[in-house]
Amino acid sequence: MATLQSIRSKGPLLLIVIGLAMLAFILGDAWKIIRPNQGIQYVGTIAGEDITAMDFQDELEIYTDVVKFANQISDITEEDQNNLKDEVWATMVRTRIIEAEAKAIGLTVTDAEVRDVIERGADPILARTPFSTTDGGFDADVLKSFLAFYKEMDPSMVQAEEYQYYQSMYNYWLFIEKNIKSNLLYDKYTSLVKASLLCNPVASKSAFDNRIMRADVLMALVPYSSVPDADAKVTTSDLKKVYNEAKPALYNYSENRDIVYIDYEILPSQADRDALLAEVSDIVDQMEGDVEDYASFLRRAGSVESFSEVARSAKNLPDDVAARLDSVKVGEVFGPYYNAFDDTYNAFKYISSTTGYDSIQFALIQVDMEDEAAAIKRADSIITAAKKRGADFQAIAQNYGQSAPEQWLAADSYEPAAIDGENALYVNTLNSMKKGDVTRINVQGVILVIKVSDVKTPLKKYNLAVVKRPVEFSEETSNAAYNKLSAFLSQNTTVEDLKNNAEDSDFRLLYYPGFENYNHNIGGVAKSREALRWAFEAQEGEVSRIYEVGNANDHLLAVGVEKIHPRGTRSIQDATASLSLKTLNNKKFEILKGQLAGKSIDELKAMDVVRFDTIRSLNFNNDAYISAIVSNEAIVGPSVFNLEKNELTVPMQGEYCAFVAEKISDDRYTAEFDEKTESLRTRSMVSSRIMGSVLEELYYQAKVVDNRYKIF
C-alpha cells in the first residue's frame, strides 16, 4: 500500500502530449448513453472505411477520461473538448493510414516488444505517468505493484471513490500501453522509409557549404507596388501559366466554402446600467445593517465574488477593491462604484482585519476518531511529546505508522478561492499559529495534530464582503437587437444584398474564405455549431436565419454562403482571385527586369525608383529581411552563393520586389567538414521532410471525408 499511496500523492500531472501516434481504443461495445443526432450513422470515411459515430464517441470518451485523470480535473471546457475531438479524429486518421501501410508490407509489433519498452522505460510517455520513483523517473516495479494490487482488489472492501480512482488509473494505463504499441509501429514504419534514403558525398559537402558560408550583400531593389497596375497587362494565357504552376497547392482535400457573416454583439443599454446601479445601491443599504450570513447574502445579491471565511491579503482581492481599502474603515461599506476594467458595479463591506502569513511550513499527524475520547487523549499525548525541547515530529509520526513530511502552504494557493466550513478552520488555524506551535483540530471525522515549523512574511489580511455585479443586457435590449437584425435580413435575403447594404445599416459584414467544416464555430463565436452545420448544407447565395450564440447568448449571428469549393483541384475560374496578384507581379517583373538589366551599382543609384539595403551575414538557407520593404525574400541567399566578391546577379524575381544583388564580402562560420557527420545531419533533415511528404501522400490516397460537424 505504501507504493500505491506514493502514486496517489503525486498530485496533478502534466497534460499528456500523445502526438502523432496516439492510439485510442474501445472499452465498450455499444452506445453507453443516448447520443444526439443518432440517426446519422457515420462521421466520416478513411481509406474507404466508414467511421461510425459510435466508434468516434467511444474513443472520445476514453481520451477525455484519460486527460481528466492525468490532470486530476473533473470538468473540460468547451474549447478543450473541441481540441480533444480534433486530436481523436487526427489519431483515427493517422493510425488507420499507418496500420494499413504496415499490414501491406508485413510490419508488426509484438507483445514482447511492448514489454521490453516498458521494462526499459524507453518511451517518453512513461515518464509522465504516476508510476515513478521519488526522482520522477518511470519505475516498472511501481507499475507491477499497482497492477498486482488492482487484480486482487475487492471493490466491496474499499470506498466507492477510492475504487473509482484505481479504476481510472487502470484505464489510464491501458491507454498508455496501447499508445506505446502504436508508437512502436509508427517508429518502425518511419525508420523503414528513412533507411531507404542515401546521402552521397557531393550532397553532404553541398549541405555543409550551404550551412557555413555567409556573405554581406548589397541589394538594389524595386518593389512591385511602384509599378502601376495599369502598366502590367495580364492576359488569359498569363493567368493560365501561373495556374498550371500552382496546381499542386490548389488541391482541396475536402470541400470548403467562402462565407460572409454578421456577428452582432448585444450590449447593455444605458437603461440596463441605470437599473443595475439602482439595484446595487439597494444592496449597499442592506449591507450597512446587520448581516448574519454573508455567504447567503452575496449569493442572493447575485455577486460573482463569493464570500470566504478565510481573510485575504490585498494582492488576492479584486484590484478595484484593493485600490480602495484605504478609503474605508472597519464596519463601513464602500460603494456603489463602477469599474470600467471589468464593466461591473461594485460595493464592499470591511468586516475586520487580521494578521496571517504569505506562506507556512507545517507537518501533521492524523489520529482516527473511532473512539473520540481515546483519540483526543492520543492527540494530546502527541502534542505533549512534540513540545518537548529537541523533539523530532517526524520520529513521533513514525510511531503511528506515518511520515509527516513538512510541506509549504502558500497564501496564493488558497486565498483566491471561497473557503468555508472545516477547510476555513484548517487554514485559519495555521495562520493563527507561530513558528514552533503545535495544536490539534477536528476535521472530516479525524483529529489532525499540526506543527508549524516555519513561516514567511506576516501580512495584513482582510475579511470583506464584496458585491461585484457585471453589467448585463436586459430582455428588452436583447429583443431590440434581434428585431433590428431581423428587419435587415428580411429585406436582404442574398449574399449580394448583405455585401451591398450591411455597412449602410450599421452592420459589420465579415468574410471567411476557405471555411472548413472541421472548425467548431464561426468566427470564434462560442456555441455557433448549429450555424456551422447550416453553412455546409446551404447553397451558394443563401443567407441563414438569425442564430442566438455566444457563451451568454450575447451574440446574434447570420451567415451567407458566397462560394462552394468542392474537393479536388480548384478550377482556374475559382482560383483567379488568389492567383491574380502573383500573375500581376510576374508582369511587373518583366517590366522591371529590362530597367535593371546590365546596370552597374552606380547607375542603379542614379535611378529614383531603386531602393538599397545591406544584408549582413546572409546564409544560403536563411531568408533575407529587407528593411526597405519590411519583408523577407527567400531567394537572395541562393542568388549570391556562387558569386565572386563584388559580382552582381542578373535581375532576380522576388516575391515582393525585383532586385539585383552584389556580394560585397564573404566569410564562413568556423567548422571543419566531416563527411560522416554531415551525411547523418543531412539525412536527418531530408528524411523528416520526406516523411512529411509520404504522410501527406498517404492522406491524399486515403480520400478522408470528415463529417463530424453533422453530429459533434
Inside any domain, residue 419:
yes
Residues 288 and 403 in one domain: yes
pLDDT at 572 over 50: yes
pLDDT in tens, 640-653: 988 999 999 999 99
Q: Which of 418, 437, 470 lies at the terminal end of a domain, its last residue?
A: 470
Residues 101 and 79 in one domain: yes
What's CA 229's distance to the chain center, in Å? 43
Under a CB-based contact definition with an 8 Å cutoff, are residues 14 and 4 in contact?
no
Output the nine-digit C-alpha cell for 391: 523533539
Q: Which of 566, 600, 622 lies at the terminal end of a domain, its last residue?
A: 566
CA distance 109 to 98: 13
Residues 501 and 615 in one domain: no
Domain count for the chain, please give it. 4
Output the nine-digit C-alpha cell for 474: 436586459
Under a CB-based contact definition with an 8 Å cutoff, are residues 41 and 55 in contact?
no
Q: Is the pTM of this model over 0.85?
A: no
The percentage of residues in the chain with a pLDDT greater than 90, rounded to a whole number, is 71
- What pLDDT is stored for residue 212 in this prediction? 87
- What pLDDT is stored for residue 155 in this prediction? 85
Residues 445 and 311 in one domain: yes
Residues 143 and 69 in one domain: yes
pLDDT at 17 over 70: no
Q: What's the whole-number mean pLDDT along residues 197-207?
A: 87
Provide the 3-class DSSP secondary structure of residue 53: helix
Helix (H) or strand (E) holding 64: helix 53-71
Cα 310-452-411 angle, rounded to 5 deg: 35
Q: What's the whole-number mean pLDDT along residues 103-107?
A: 92
What is the pLDDT confidence band of residue 136, given thresholds at 50, 70 and 90?
low
pLDDT in tens, 364-419: 999 988 788 899 999 999 999 999 988 899 999 999 889 899 999 999 999 999 99
The percentage of residues in the chain with a pLDDT greater than 70, rounded to a whole number, is 94
Inside any domain, residue 378:
yes
- What pLDDT is stored for residue 553 in this prediction? 94
Residues 226 and 331 in one domain: no
Return the amino acid letter for 53: A
- What pLDDT is stored for residue 605 in this prediction? 93
Residues 42 and 182 in one domain: yes
pLDDT in tens, 79-90: 899 999 999 999
Inside any domain, residue 682:
no
- What pLDDT is stored for residue 687 in this prediction? 87
pLDDT in tens, 423-440: 999 999 999 999 999 999
- What pLDDT is stored for residue 135 in this prediction? 66
Q: In terms of residue numbers, what domain contains 226?
A: 215-251+572-668
CA distance 268 to 554: 10
Inside any domain, residue 162:
yes
pLDDT in tens, 29-73: 333 333 444 455 899 999 989 999 999 999 999 999 999 988 888
- What pLDDT is stored for residue 684 in this prediction? 85
Return the amino acid letter for 171: N
Residues 445 and 558 in one domain: no
Q: What's the whole-number mean pLDDT along residues 462-477?
A: 97
pLDDT in tens, 596-622: 999 999 999 999 999 999 999 998 988
Inside any domain, residue 386:
yes
Of 31, 27, 32, 29, nearest to 41 by C-alpha is: 31
CA distance 364 to 296: 33
Q: What is the 3-state secondary structure (H, E, C) of 354-398?
A: EEEEEEEEEEEEEEECCCHHHHHHHHHHHHHHHCCCCCCHHHHHH
pLDDT in tens, 302-352: 999 999 999 999 999 999 999 999 999 999 999 999 999 999 999 999 999
